[in-house]
């Protein structure tokens, strides 16, 4: 008979044991007796029982059950019928048919005879598999159980006591279980059973709160362990006890003994699962990071590394998000090491990437997406963050992580202008009534919902959200409630109904004249005049605000900034320049300082002072707080250098900009355009193929994405222009074919916002020029007339097409046709009348002179 499988802390530990109990059960029985003597020919009854027993020994439980069932039905008077029923029941048990095993043993109990204790034990074992622990206790404590005094030396006594102890542990009667097991004399028990005894006794003592006694017993369990599985179970139990004794360093050392290659992968994975939370809880975060990185490096194939990667990634995020300590002798935080911050955030993201890419079936995937979303969010990669937040929100369990993921998804959608879905997700957050969500996110979600509803024109929804803020969070009335009302006024402002916006703001001040939001409301009133273009009133309001609210320190810089802009727009450029320059000097760390410096640089650029513009743009992109504005500043520093003919300096700015990460794609494309033009200018100075190639390479970087990307379409047109210059210079027929292919590609695109009339017109004029160069005047005129007939049209290209068509007509002395072309252009672009009138008159004179 097969012995009970050893039980661990949470169930069965190890694989099937040997056939110790099987041998004990059949010893003295007819099958065993036959084995000791000669081997006479077996009867059909013996053959049938032997076949069923072999199936059972070989774990063929379905076949064993079937054969023993047939045996019982066929050999109704067999003296071994009770034994066959027992094996039939045990075969059911091994197939997880616990109810069937119990029913069979109960129904046949009256026929069990000498096997009665075996029937009781295996009924108890079956009930333990169903979790019926009271039933187990009841069976093992009855008079015919293996534990009865009359049967104290039964071969099932030891397994029976262990099963009873397990049942008492599950029924939260650890003291009773400990007393029973501690009183047993285990001399004569096998080492496997003695290990089970010490392991279970240790668990009972731990459950009873006797942690020191449990720790002592755990050492006995370790000494008795027969195989790696038993040793691993003992190690985990000892580590758990040390954790509960708050001896975490010792617990980590104990768990480490299961992180060896001799242990199975699942054991190493379980050891990691125990080690990682303890490591994360270390007081010193850098040491915890180092320990986890070492674990990952030393056990690259262990199960559970997904948890290690997520945990160390979150520690890196914690380091990134932690405020810096004040500089020595001050209350001001020390300036952060930007390289360290960047590397820390990058390290966090790399660990989350590993989980997402390499652990595709991990239960931690949604958490890794949420954490990677935070990395992208902190890096201002909002589109990437949205994708991860969306994945996390769809698959994380309920609060708090799922609600946070959905809230951040809504935030990302809001920033990206997807207000409809943002509002939907804010509402979903509000359906969660868990206290940790209602306390932390509801008021913020309501405020954001109000703004999202305003953006999509749902005034009722916005008002309802504001009302809920005031109703649910009366304590926040002076914060989010009034902010909601302020938001309503700002909505009218956004709709350019500035008078209505001022009315809302004025009403708010009338209802709450002493509101802490009064400075913000009066500032909003001033902004309505600025947005209206009423610079005089805007300047007056900003100056009045400075008089009334100079103590509102958080808004003073912002008001000064907008006052400077208003003065600039009012034509007070010298005063505006002085104000903006002073702003940069007075508030160097303010978020608006980069914008003020940008405005100063723009001023010089617009005035044609490209040296001063370049100098200020350079200051801007060297400012650590410039953010994405730094990329724009580098671009315009290059444009300033280009405008002052500093080709090499311009090329340096553009090349450096293209080498950086996270530059917005539109700016990357514009930079390639600028580089292409620089290289092309060098080609014009020295028209060799070596000088043309860099220009073509740069512009070609932008052509991907046509026809849905307007800049890509424009780049195709520029590429055609470059090849046209080469073809014209060298009379290269193959190059003209390249030019035609490019322009025909553009003309073949459907007319969309991306394929503008300007792009199509440029291509048609380019095709006309190629046709003219190849002597195909009729085809050239056809392309020109396409441009003249476009509706809507581009005045510049209408002029170019008309000029080329009229020139071809004049070259052929077709003066009437030339005059008609000029008149058609004049109809489209009346501003060209002075020039075209002269050309029309000249064509008319030549026609008359020719007598035509």
- Judge whether 409 and 389 are in contact, CB under 8 Å: yes
3-state secondary structure of 326: strand
Query: From CA 364, how far away is CA 541, in angstroms rounded?
Result: 55
pLDDT of 443 over the 70 cut: no
**Cα-Cα end-to-end distance for the chain:** 123
Determine the average pLDDT of the residues in 825-843: 87
The count of C-alpha atoms lying within 13 angstroms of the C-alpha of 814, restricted to the half-sphere facing its C-beta, is: 14
> Would you place residue 237 in the very low, low, confident or very high pLDDT band (cuts 50, 70, 90)?
very high
CATH class name, domain 365-472: mainly alpha
Determine the average pLDDT of the residues in 243-260: 86
Give the pLDDT of residue 442: 63
Q: What does the pLDDT look like over 654-692, one tens digit per residue?
A: 999 889 888 888 888 888 988 988 888 888 888 888 888
Adjacent-strand bridge partners of 7: 12
pLDDT of 226 over the 90 cut: no
pLDDT of 513 over the 80 cut: no
Question: Span 1-166: which CATH code?
Answer: 1.25.40.10
Q: What does the pLDDT look like over 487-500, one tens digit per residue?
A: 444 544 444 556 76
Determine the average pLDDT of the residues in 343-347: 85
3-state secondary structure of 159: helix
Closest CA to 717 of 731, 706, 708: 706
Q: What does the pLDDT look like over 724-770, one tens digit per residue?
A: 888 888 877 788 888 899 999 988 888 887 888 899 999 999 999 99
- Which DSSP string do the residues of 193-260 spell out, in sequence order? HHHHHHHHHHHHHHHTT-HHHHHHHHHHHHHH--SHHHHHHHHHHHHHHHHHTT-HHHHHHHHHTTSS
pLDDT of 616 over the 80 cut: yes
> Would you place residue 49 in the very low, low, confident or very high pLDDT band (cuts 50, 70, 90)?
very high
Determine the average pLDDT of the residues in 29-50: 63
Domain with CATH 1.25.40.10 in the chain: 1-166, 365-472
CATH topology of domain 172-257: 1.25.40
Residues 6+ apart with CB under 8 A from 367: 310, 392, 396, 401
Adjacent-strand bridge partners of 326: 333
Cα angle 501, 507, 510; round to 5: 145
Contacts 24+ apart (CB under 8 A), 5-14: 6/192, 6/195, 6/196, 6/199, 6/230, 7/162, 7/166, 7/196, 7/200, 8/199, 8/233, 9/203, 9/233, 9/236, 9/237, 9/240, 13/229, 13/230, 13/233, 14/227, 14/229, 14/230
């Amino acid at each position: 008979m097969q012995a009970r499988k050893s039980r661990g802390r949470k169930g069965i530990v190890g694989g099937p044991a040997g056939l110790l109990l099987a041998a004990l059960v059949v010893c003295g029985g007819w099958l065993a007796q036959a084995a000791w003597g000669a081997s006479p020919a077996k009867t059909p009854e013996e053959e049938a029982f032997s076949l069923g027993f072999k199936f059972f020994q070989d774990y063929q439980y379905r076949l064993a059950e079937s054969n023993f069932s047939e045996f019982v039905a066929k050999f109704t008077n067999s003296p071994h019928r009770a034994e066959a029923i027992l094996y039939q029941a045990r075969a059911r048990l091994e197939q997880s048919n616990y109810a069937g095993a119990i029913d069979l043993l109960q129904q046949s109990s009256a026929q069990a005879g000498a096997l009665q204790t075996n029937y009781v034990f295996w009924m108890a074992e079956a009930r333990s598999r169903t979790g019926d622990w009271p039933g187990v206790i009841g069976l093992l404590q009855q008079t015919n159980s293996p534990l009865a005094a009359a049967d104290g030396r039964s071969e099932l006594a030891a397994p029976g006591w262990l099963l009873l102890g397990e049942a008492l542990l599950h029924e939260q009667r650890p003291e009773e279980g400990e007393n029973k097991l501690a009183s047993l004399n285990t001399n004569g028990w096998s080492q496997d059973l003695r290990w089970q005894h010490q392991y279970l006794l240790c668990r009972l003592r731990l459950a009873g709160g006797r942690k020191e006694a449990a720790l002592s017993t755990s050492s006995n369990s370790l000494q008795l362990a027969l195989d790696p599985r038993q040793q691993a179970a003992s190690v985990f139990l000892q580590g758990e006890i040390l954790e509960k004794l708050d001896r975490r360093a010792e617990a980590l050392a104990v768990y480490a003994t299961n992180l060896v290659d001799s242990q199975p992968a699942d054991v190493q994975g379980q050891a990691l699962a125990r080690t990682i939370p303890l490591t994360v809880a270390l007081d010193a975060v850098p040491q915890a990071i180092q320990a986890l990185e070492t674990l990952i490096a030393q056990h690259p194939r262990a199960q559970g590394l997904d948890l290690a990667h997520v945990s160390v990634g979150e520690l890196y995020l914690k380091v990134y998000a932690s405020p810096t300590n004040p500089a020595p002798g001050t209350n001001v935080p020390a300036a952060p090491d930007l390289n360290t911050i960047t590397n820390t955030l990058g390290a966090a993201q790399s660990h989350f990437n590993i989980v997402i890419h390499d652990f595709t079936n991990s239960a931690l995937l949604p958490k890794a997406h949420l954490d990677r979303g935070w990395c992208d969010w902190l890096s201002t990669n909002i589109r990437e963050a949205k994708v991860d937040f969306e994945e996390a929100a769809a698959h994380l369990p309920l609060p708090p992580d799922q609600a946070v993921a959905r809230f951040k998804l809504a935030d990302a959608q809001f920033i990206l202008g997807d207000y409809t879905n943002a509002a939907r997700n804010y509402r979903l957050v509000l359906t969660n009534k868990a206290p940790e969500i209602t306390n932390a996110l509801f008021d913020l979600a309501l405020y954001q919902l109000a703004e999202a509803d305003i953006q999509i024109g749902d005034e009722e929804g916005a008002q309802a959200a504001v009302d809920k803020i005031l109703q649910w969070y009366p304590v926040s009335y002076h914060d989010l409630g009034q902010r909601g009302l302020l938001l309503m006024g700002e909505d009218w402002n956004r709709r350019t109904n500035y008078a209505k916006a001022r009315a809302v703001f004025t009403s708010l001040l009338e209802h709450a004249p002493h509101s802490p939001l009064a400075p913000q409301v009066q500032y909003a009133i001033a902004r309505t005049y600025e947005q209206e273009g009423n610079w005089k009133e805007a300047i007056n309001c900003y100056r009045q605000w400075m008089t009334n609210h100079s103590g509102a320190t958080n808004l003073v810089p912002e008001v000064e900034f907008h006052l400077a802009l208003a003065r600039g727009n009012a034509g007070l450029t010298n005063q505006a320049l002085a104000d903006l320059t002073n702003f940069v000097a007075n508030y160097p760390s303010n978020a608006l300082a980069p914008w003020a410096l940008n405005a100063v640089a723009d001023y010089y650029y617009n005035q044609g002072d490209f040296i001063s513009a370049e100098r200020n743009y350079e200051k801007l992109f060297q400012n650590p707080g410039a953010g994405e504005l730094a990329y724009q500043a580098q671009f315009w520093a290059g444009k300033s250098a280009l405008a002052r003919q500093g080709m090499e300096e311009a090329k340096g700015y553009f090349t450096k900009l293209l080498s950086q990460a996270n530059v917005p794609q539109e700016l990357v494309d514009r930079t390639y355009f600028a580089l292409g033009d620089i290289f092309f200018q060098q080609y014009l100075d020295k028209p060799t193929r070596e000088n043309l190639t860099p220009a073509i390479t740069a512009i070609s970087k932008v052509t991907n994405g046509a026809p849905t990307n307007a800049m890509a379409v424009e780049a195709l047109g520029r590429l055609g222009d470059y090849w046209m210059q080469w073809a014209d210079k060298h009379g290269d027929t193959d190059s003209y074919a390249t030019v035609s292919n490019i322009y025909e590609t553009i003309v073949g695109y459907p007319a969309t916002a991306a394929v503008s009339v300007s792009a199509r017109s440029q291509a048609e004029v380019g095709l006309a020029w190629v046709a003219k160069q190849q002597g195909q005047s009729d085809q050239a005129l056809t392309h020109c007339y396409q441009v003249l007939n476009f509706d809507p049209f581009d005045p510049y290209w209408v002029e170019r097409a008309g000029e080329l068509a009229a020139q071809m007509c004049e070259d052929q002395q077709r003066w009437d046709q030339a005059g008609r072309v000029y008149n058609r252009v004049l109809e489209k672009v009346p501003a060209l009348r002075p020039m075209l009138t002269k050309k029309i008159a000249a064509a008319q004179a030549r026609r008359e002179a020719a007598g035509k």
